[in-house]
Homo-oligomer: A and B are copies of this chain.
Amino acid sequence: MSREFFATRTVAEALVGFNPALCTPAQTVPLAQALGRVPARDVVASAPLPGFARSTVDGYAVRAADTYGASEGLPSYLDVVGAVRMGAQPDVTVAAGTAVEMPTGGVLPVGADAVVMVEYTNETMPGTVEVLRPVAPGGGVVAADDDVTAGAVLVPAGRPLRAADLGLLAAAGVIEVVVHARPRVAILSTGDEVVPPATVALHPGQVRDAIASALAGLVLDAGGSPVPCGIVPDDPPALRCALQAARAQADLVVISAGSSVGARDSTAEAVATLGKPGILCHGLAVKPGKPTLLAECDGVPVIGLPGNPLSALVVFRLVGAPLVWRLAGCATPPPEPSVTATLTREVPSEAGRRDVVQVRLVGGRAEPLFGASALLSVLTRADGYLVVPEPATGLDAGAHVSVTLYR
């Protein structure tokens, strides 16, 4: 099998073509564990909220008509016939010429259609209130279904749950949510030179596995669940076997494919033997990250990442993270922070290729960090990255660029 057999794709083509139909199964989680999870279906209100006409101010429940024409000079005088207690049905009603004391959040008594704010009243004599301004019907009140009507969608399927969503669900008495399971992402590292991070003394030529830990972080960021699958030597049968085991316990398999040509080829071969339809593309029009393999084997997507840590992480952000969201039922990943900055120096690029350039921000200026894609420290020193899109042949010094920020 030759690498040349497979076409290079743009990132956009890869995202369209590499779009497994399946989502993870639904599961029920308590509200306290639902932040960031993706509802598998719309959650609908069984009853209106707040459920009763409710005062939004401290003041007096009145008939609005009784306040028409009221002013500082000529107040309306109303008899105070009682007070509403928080959390209880009022035991008084409001008739013409009367008012009832209201706390914010109290139930509007029968007969009243508005609440006058306490700031616009005087209670100069016990039992009588002077209203100094008119209030319109509905003033100072939310209706029983102003927040949510019965049957309305509280939170939609497909959008990760935010803090406010949890509040609205709690208000509606929904204490469990049916969400997509976190996509399990198997992370497999290859290379005869790669040893576990816990290795204290390295032999000459050995390197500790950096990619697996960093990928696990990106998987968590994308709402997935990393499944560490260890390190496999550059040995085709061992690799096939490890890939098969990884696929069996994951919704997505990510393999850092070894950095040498030989290692890359054996990954491609192992993937190709694993199932249908097999390899979708071998080569992404992105720098760093060209030697990327995208495959689907019997319904499980497989990403073969370049062996260099920087390249691997750039590609996983571009292609892997959106896929993890999609597997969880979320078509549009949450937005990422960004900032506009002025480029300090020219950035060369090639037309037809997407360049991802790590940058440091210094006072509103974006300073590109160059360095071999083998260097992980370029990534940890960066505040974010800029993208030179496919049609451009580079960016000039002084250009205004959008920098996606790491958080």
Distance of A82 from chain B, by nearest CB (Å): 14
Cα–Cα distance between A261 and B119 once the two chains are bound (Å): 12
Cα–Cα distance between A86 and B204 once the two chains are bound (Å): 10
Please name all residues of chain B whose beta carbon is closer than 8 Å to the beta carbon of A11 when the two chains form the complex. none
Are the C-beta atoms of A259 and B105 separated by less than 8 Å? yes
Cα–Cα distance between A339 and B31 once the two chains are bound (Å): 29
Name A161's closest neighbour in chain B (CB-CB). Answer: B217
Near B by CB (< 8 A), chain A positions 148-176 give: 148, 154-155, 160-175
Please name all residues of chain B whose beta carbon is closer than 8 Å to the beta carbon of A200 when the two chains form the complex. 173
Distance of A48 from chain B, by nearest CB (Å): 11
Are the C-beta atoms of A87 and B197 separated by less than 8 Å? no
Cα–Cα distance between A214 and B166 once the two chains are bound (Å): 5
User: Is A236 on the interface with B (CB-CB < 8 A)?
Assistant: no
Near B by CB (< 8 A), chain A positions 361-407 give: 371-377, 379-380, 382, 405-407
Cα–Cα distance between A56 and B259 once the two chains are bound (Å): 9
Cα–Cα distance between A390 and B194 once the two chains are bound (Å): 56
Cα–Cα distance between A168 and B207 once the two chains are bound (Å): 11
User: Is A183 on the interface with B (CB-CB < 8 A)?
Assistant: no
Distance of A52 from chain B, by nearest CB (Å): 6
Cα–Cα distance between A161 and B379 once the two chains are bound (Å): 12
Cα–Cα distance between A372 and B147 once the two chains are bound (Å): 9
Please name all residues of chain B whose beta carbon is closer than 8 Å to the beta carbon of A155 when the two chains form the complex. 380
Cα–Cα distance between A212 and B52 once the two chains are bound (Å): 21
Are the C-beta atoms of B334 and A337 separated by less than 8 Å? yes
Distance of A262 from chain B, by nearest CB (Å): 7
Contact with B along A197-231 (1 / 0, CB 8 A): 11110111111111111111110110000101000
User: Is A73 on the interface with B (CB-CB < 8 A)?
Assistant: no
Are the C-beta atoms of A192 and B86 separated by less than 8 Å? yes
Near B by CB (< 8 A), chain A positions 62-94 give: 85-89
Tell which of B54, B142, B160, B217 touches A35, judged by Cβ atoms closer than 8 Å.
B217
Cα–Cα distance between A30 and B122 once the two chains are bound (Å): 64
Distance of A221 from chain B, by nearest CB (Å): 6
Contact with B along A281-293 (1 / 0, CB 8 A): 0000000000000
Are the C-beta atoms of A213 and B375 separated by less than 8 Å? no
Near B by CB (< 8 A), chain A positions 286-334 give: 307, 309, 313, 334
Are the C-beta atoms of A167 and B407 separated by less than 8 Å? no
Are the C-beta atoms of B213 and A104 separated by less than 8 Å? no
Please name all residues of chain B whose beta carbon is closer than 8 Å to the beta carbon of A202 when the two chains form the complex. 51
User: Is A350 on the interface with B (CB-CB < 8 A)?
Assistant: no
Cα–Cα distance between A171 and B234 once the two chains are bound (Å): 20
Please name all residues of chain B whose beta carbon is closer than 8 Å to the beta carbon of A52 when the two chains form the complex. 204-205
Cα–Cα distance between A31 and B215 once the two chains are bound (Å): 12
Are the C-beta atoms of B208 and A171 separated by less than 8 Å? yes
User: Is A42 on the interface with B (CB-CB < 8 A)?
Assistant: no
Are the C-beta atoms of B173 and A199 separated by less than 8 Å? yes
Contact with B along A326-362 (1 / 0, CB 8 A): 0000000011111100000000000000000000000
User: Is A278 on the interface with B (CB-CB < 8 A)?
Assistant: no
Task: Point out residues on A near B: beta carbons under 8 Å.
Answer: 31-32, 35, 49-52, 54, 56, 58, 85-89, 103-107, 118, 142, 146-148, 154-155, 160-175, 191-194, 197-200, 202-218, 220-221, 226, 228, 234, 259-263, 307, 309, 313, 334-339, 371-377, 379-380, 382, 405-407
Excluding A35-B217, A163-B215, A175-B197, 16 further A-B contacts by CB distance (< 8 Å) are A31-B197, A31-B213, A86-B193, A86-B260, A103-B259, A103-B260, A164-B380, A167-B309, A168-B214, A168-B377, A170-B212, A170-B213, A170-B214, A171-B309, A174-B197, A175-B198
